[in-house]
Amino acid sequence: MEHRFLSFLLIAALLVSAGGCAAPAAEPSAEDPAAVERDNGLSSASGAEAASEASAEADTAVTAERPLKEESADADNKAEDFSDTEAHSPQAETEEQTTPPPALSGVPDPFLAQTLRAFLEDAPGENRVYSPLNVYLALSMLPDLTEGETRQQILDLLGVKDPEESRERARLLWEAAQREDDAVTTLLASSLWLSDAFPYHEEALGRLSDSDYACSYRGTPGSPEMNSALRDWLNDRTGGLLKDAASQLELDPMTILAIASTIYFKAPWQDEFNASLTESGTFHSPDGDCSVDFLHGGTTGDYYWGEHFSAVCKAFRGGGAMWLILPEEGLSPEALLEDEEAMAFLLAPGGDWEKQRFALVKLALPKFDISSDLDLRPGLRALGVTDALDPEQADFSPLTDEELIYLAQAKHAARVSVDEKGCTGAAYTVMDIRFGSALPPEEIDFILNRPFLFLITDSAGLPLFFGTVNRPVS
């Protein structure tokens, strides 16, 4: 069977999508999703267990649990001895939650629109995955560490007026998104990676711990032990789904602070796809047709469209949905991001959208497992965050009195998979703040390959020798 599916956009579950789309209620599956075996390393039903087990193992390796302000700086550099401060977790506050919050509540539309374009458009024809919630929470930790124009550029991108509003928005986002029950799992985590030989302003670090639930670790940046500990922490909090990307991460010996933020998501479909209906079909990718397995299912629900796209959603059991947006033939997903009507739909899918009708939707969705590893710095520069990335302009004075401190790296890795059972996703953002150096001066070639003068002076500036060289060899 051939499907006229070109490339399509998806608003992945990593976006903490709305409390569902218009679809009839379904009885929960009798099969416990926790019992389903992992499929090719990314089963929609088993990643949470991996995250939970790995996290439990990691917690036994830390040596202390205490408030950040009391944290000792004399922790041994071995990975198993890293000083660890576990911050307050909102999990207890959200255990009773039975329905998820509204879609993307608290993440400003301008941030979503700008970053979707900045981080997804620059690689046409390639798979890209981006978690706006994860990146937003990571960036929201920077206003407390910066000052002046450096801070203002970050606040402008986040859509908040001051660090206090940034902290409050981040707190509300965290508490709204965090969820773990018998249907949907959304786990967030953040951490600070500090040098045990560097003087910090502890007040700024304390604010991060209070508002962003950040645990902290101290060691020697750039050492094999600290690099390994960071990778283990990321893998623990993302269920091991991003091991390939994490294995490439290394802190620099000049690192003074690394900020890490993660999200792990798992949800079963409200109506699972019948595995017996899965069949091979043709997907028309930009670089040529390929054969993939398509999931097939039919249900009554809302069908949406615009001038250049059509869309449906697939609901998760317990709330939330994956929205699938198909550009018109001949139009790429990246080009669709520039369409204002399509962007308006992406920012508020479903709801009161005028162009919709109730229909029997016969969905054919390719099974996929896609990932990407992004350098956020080019996109951040394009969005006006420039000073933080420049050692001569960056102002990190709330963090330290040292100068030439700047944001040297901003990495974002993400992965999303869908199969008959449901959807699994994970992402992390790691921002590396380092000692910098002034920009090198203009290079000038000064080649003495023709007659020249010379002058030799002593320490007091007295002229000891003066001469001309017309022939270096007598």
Give the span between the Cα atoms of 314 and 20, in whole angstroms: 8
Kindly list the averaged pLDDT for each block of 10 residues, start to end, along the chain of length 474.
41 36 35 29 34 39 30 34 44 36 61 92 86 95 97 97 92 90 93 92 85 85 96 97 96 95 95 95 89 90 92 89 90 91 90 91 92 96 97 95 94 95 96 78 70 66 67 68
Give the span between the Cα atoms of 14 and 337, in whole angstroms: 18
| CB under 8 A, 24+ apart: contacts of 383-390 | 383/114, 383/115, 383/118, 383/157, 384/153, 384/156, 384/157, 385/153, 385/154, 385/157, 386/153, 387/148, 387/149, 387/150, 387/153, 388/142, 388/146, 388/150, 388/153, 388/154
Question: Cα 466 from chain centroid?
Answer: 63
- What token pair was written down for 244? 């390939």
In 3D space, the residue among 263, 317, 305, 300 whose CA is nearest the CA of residue 20 turns out to be: 317
Give the span between the Cα atoms of 27 and 271, in whole angstroms: 8
398 residue type, one letter: P
DSSP 270: S
pLDDT at 139: 97
pLDDT at 27: 33
Taking each helix axis from N to C terminus, what angle separates 148-158 and 109-120, rounded to the nearest 10 degrees? Answer: 100
113: left (phi over 0), alpha (psi -120 to 50) or beta: alpha
- What token pair was written down for 442? 């203009």
Instruction: Give CA angle at 178 (299, 265), nearest 5°.
Output: 50
Strand, helix or coil at 423? strand
pLDDT at 441: 53
- What token pair was written down for 299? 């249900």
Domain architecture of the chain: domains with CATH: 47-267+369-435 (3.30.497.10), 269-368 (2.30.39.10)
DSSP 28: P
Verdict on whether the full-model pTM lies above 0.85: no
**Helical segments of 302-418, H only:** 333-336, 340-347, 377-382
**Helical segments of 238-371, H only:** 243-246, 333-336, 340-347
Half-sphere exposure in the Cβ direction for 439 (13 Å, CA): 9
Each residue of 429-449: b (16+ CB within 10 Å) or e? bbbbbbbbeeeeeeeeeeeee
